[in-house]
Structure 1
Amino acid sequence: MDAILPTHDADDKLHRRRRVRRRCCFACLAVSLLLGVTLLVLFLTVLRVRDPTTRLTSSKVIGFDLGPGPGLQFNITMLLTVDVHNPNRASFSYESGSAELWYRGVLVAVAGVDPGRIPSRGDGDMELTMQVLSGSFGAELPQLAKDMAAGAVPLDASARVPGKVGLLGGVLKLRAVAYSDCHVIFGVPEMEVRSQVCQDHTKL
C-alpha cells in the first residue's frame, strides 16, 4: 500500500507555496512601483517639454521701391532674424514653417521658415524674408501713413513651426509644433524694432 502523508505535512507544503506566491506578487508590485516612480521622475525632469523663447534680434530693409502713382505706394523687402532659445534637454529639429505679419488686424505679409535644428539647451537663428506691399494694407493705408509720420508702426507677427523633439539622445522622437506670437513696435525712420513682447508655446 502507498504511504499516506500526514495531514500537517501537506498543509506545510501548501503554506510554503502560498508564501512563495505572495513574495513573488510583492516583488512584482515593488518593481512596478519603482518603475512607475522612475518614469514619473524621468517625465518631470527630462521628457517635459518647456516652451522656447523667441526674440527678434535684427530687421533689415534689403529692398525698397516707391510706386509711380500718386499717394503712398511702396514695395518693401525685409530680412528678419529671430533668435530662438531652447531650454529643454531635447533638441528640436523643425521642418518648413510659416510666419505672418499683421498690421491692425490686416494680414500684410507671409514668409516661409526653412528647416533647421536647435540643440538641447541651446540657441538657433531663423532668417525670414518678407515682402510688404502697400496694397496689402487696404483701408488701413491712411492709418499707416499716420503711424509712420508719428514714428512708430505697431505690428503683430505669428509663426508656426512643426518638427520633432529628440529625447534621450535622439532615441525617442516626438512630434511637436512650436508657436510664437509677438507684438512689435517698429520705429521710423530708423527702421528698427523699438520694443517687442512675445508669447511662445509648444504643443506635442
Structure 2
Amino acid sequence: MPSSDQDQVTPLAFAAIHPTTTNDEEDPSTKPRRRLLRRRCVLCCATCTTVLVLIAIIIVILAFTVFKVKEPKMTMNSMTIQGLSAITRSSSASGFNVTVVADISVKNPNAASFKFGSSTTSVYYKDGLVGLAYGPPGNARAHRTFRVNVTVDVMGDQLVGDVDLMAEVMGGVVGMKSSTMVGGRVKILGIFKHHVDVMMNCSMSIAVLNQSILDQNCNHRVWL
C-alpha cells in the first residue's frame, strides 16, 4: 500500500455559523402589531378628548339657556291687621295688642331649586317702622311656589295717640307699607352656585272691616 504521507489530506470543513437575534434587534413581525396598538391608543385618546369637549360645551350651553338663573318673584298675597279697632278705645300702649300677618309667596322660575334663609319683613306706617319679624327658611323647588306666613307684632307705642291713624281706622281704610328681604342661592347641576337676594317693597290700603287689601303697589329688586 502506498505511504500515508502521500494520501491527500482533506481539510476540516468550517462549522456553519447561523446569525442569532440579539435583544437590541427588533423582530420584524412585531412592528405591525405595535403600529396597530399605537393607532388604537391615539384613536382612544382622541375619542375621549372629543367626548369631554362635547360634554363641556353641552354643560355651558345648558348653563346659559335652560339652567340660566332667573329672578325669583315675591308676591304679597294678603296682609291682615288684628287689633286695629282697639286703638280707638285705648289711650295707652299697654291697652291693646296689634299684630300684622303677611302671607307672602316666593315663586321660583328656575330649573333648579332655590334654597333661601330666613326672611325679614318690616312694617311701616307713614314711613315710620312699627314692626319687624323674621320668617322661616325654606326651599322653593324648581318651577314651584313657596308660601310663607309672617306674623309681625306692631309696636303699640308707635301707634297709640296718632290722630291720622285713628281717623283712618274710623274711616275704614288704613294705609300701610311693608318691606320683605329674602336671600338664598340657586345650585345648578350641582356645580354652578348663584347667590340671589330678593327685596319686595309694598304700599297698600287695608279695609279695617274685613282685613282685605283694597289697593296694592309692589316693586321688586333682585341681586344675582
Paired AA for residue 56 in structure 1: N
| SS of residue paired to 1:46 | coil
Paired AA for residue 74 in structure 1: F
Per the alignment, residue 55 of structure 1 pairs with 76
Of residues 155, 167, 186 in structure 2, which corresponds to 1:146?
167
Contact 1:100 1:109 in 2 (8 A): yes
Q: How far apart in 2 are the matches of 1:64 and 1:147?
A: 11
Per the alignment, residue 195 of structure 1 pairs with 215
Unpaired runs of at least 5, structure 2: 1-52
| SS of residue paired to 2:213 | strand
Of residues 143, 155, 162 in structure 1, which corresponds to 2:176?
155
Of residues 117, 125, 135 in structure 2, which corresponds to 1:103?
125
TM-score, normalised with respect to structure 2: 0.64
Deviation at 1:41, TM superposition (A): 6.5
Paired AA for residue 151 in structure 1: G
Aligned residues: 173
User: Which contiguous aligned blocks of 4+ residues in structure 1 show a shift greater than 4 angstroms?
Assistant: 35-38, 62-69
In angstroms, what is the RMSD of aligned CA positions? Answer: 3.4
Contact 1:67 1:74 in 2 (8 A): no
Show CA shifts across 1:49-89 (max 9, x none). Answer: 22413132463638986699637853212332212222222
Unpaired runs of at least 5, structure 1: 1-31
Per the alignment, residue 143 of structure 2 pairs with 121
Q: Report the identity percentage.
A: 21
- 1:151–1:137 CA distance, 2 compared to 1 (3 A): same
Of residues 187, 194, 199 in structure 2, which corresponds to 1:174?
194
Which of the pair is proportionally richer in strand? Answer: 1
Show CA shifts across 1:148-183 (max 9, x none). Answer: 112111111111111111223x44222221211111
Larger radius of gyration: 2
Deviation at 1:93, TM superposition (A): 0.7
Q: How far apart in 1 are the matches of 2:199 and 2:183?
A: 9
Deviation at 1:191, TM superposition (A): 2.1
Q: How far apart in 1 are the matches of 2:197 and 2:170?
A: 38
| SS of residue paired to 2:110 | coil
Q: How far apart in 2 are the matches of 1:48 and 1:59?
A: 33
